[in-house]
Amino acid sequence: MSKTTIILGGAYGGIIILLVFVFFGHPQTDPSHYSIIPNSDNNLLATSSSSPSLSLADLFAKSEDGVVLVKVIKVGDSPNNRDIGSGIVYDYDGHIVTNNHVVENADKISVIFHDGNSLKATVVGADPFADLAVIKVNATASVFHPLTLGDSSNLRIGDAVAAIGSPFGLTGSMTSGIVSQVGRLLVTPDTENFSIPNVIQTDAAINPGNSGGPLLNMQGQVIGINTAIQSSTGEFSGIGFAIPSNSIKRIVPALIKDGTYTHPWLGISGTSIDSDLADTLGLPVSSGFMIQEVVKQSPAEKAGLRGYNSTKTVDGTNYKIGGDIIVGIDGIQISKIEDILNYLEDQKQVGDKITMQIIRDDQTINVYLILEKRPDHKNQ
């Protein structure tokens, strides 16, 4: 949907900072390539966040049966080349939540439970824009031990968390750390024109193979699905990312029901404004989001939003200027692109009408826009 200030890498080891989707595969696999609607009745939702904290040992004992190893043979791979990720038991119907990049293009999927029981699985639904997928195994309800979904909106920087998964294929591994930040933006290689909002940053050790496993609070509630790391080597460097549980609550029921999830879309790209950029370009505000490009036939174009109309060169750098500056949506102040994406994903749906406060020609005006379905990522 928009450009962000996050810089992501391409080839494994090819740049200093690299975003690696924490996926474990056969040796020739390039890890950098994988760079509250009610849940189903059988799924467990947390009713209170005031439960006493558990020790790490008790937390693992409580959660281990709800974490699975996911083995995948991709289309075109030989049976000896298996990629490995993790997953969480979602309900008593056999639904397992994992990452889309773990099971995308899968030919065969096996789920191995903590007790060693292995079952075949099929993909029920997938959302590449959130890097979430649901797979299903058929077994009696007694086999399944669903994990409880917590409320990721309650997370605070510094909260203790733990990750369980299969780093490098080492099943049932646990690491611990803290929430380093919330509200991050994440870009996946297959959806590079769009960002995953509200991502949790943690320093809990996450490595290839942890993909799809849970990030837990100290009450044993799932507050995120581990999905990526930022690293110069492709291995743990203290910066990991997880898709928040509130996104799981919203998206997974739709994946189970319909196989897909529709995200709202504006159709703009541009840059977030800070005081330095405002001084450099002589902008009328020191925060907000300056539109540079408006996608044709997008909701933004239909609403009359405008992109850049001129360029300005400062110290050898060319800037696209003159576009509308978004400073508010529905009365909520907008300081940067994260504010826009987080609000749309958490509060709005396709078909909703929003009021955007923009600055155009040094005047603040309101623009009304109807959100539409985000285009298919394969066509971007």
Catalytic site residue 101?
yes
d(CA 165, CA 213): 5
Catalytic site residue 93?
no
d(CA 219, CA 203): 19
- The one catalytic residue among 2, 180, 211, 269: 211
Residues 6 or more apart whose CB falls under 8 angstroms from that of 347 comprise none
| 313 exposure class (CB count in 10 Å sphere: 0-12, 13-18, 19+) | exposed
Nearest to 155 by CA among 187, 186, 201: 201
Report yes or no: 361 and 174 within 8 Å, Cβ to Cβ: no
Catalytic site residue 53?
no
Report yes or no: 224 and 243 within 8 Å, Cβ to Cβ: yes
Nearest to 99 by CA among 214, 11, 221, 223: 214
Strand segments (E) across 274-371: 288-294, 310-314, 317-321, 325-329, 332-333, 353-360, 363-370
Query: Nearest 5°: phi and psi at 331?
Result: 85, 0
- The one catalytic residue among 32, 63, 101, 324: 101
- The one catalytic residue among 131, 151, 203, 324: 131
Q: What would the two tokens of residue 258 be?
A: 């319909």
Q: Give the residue numbers marked as catalytic.
A: 101, 131, 211
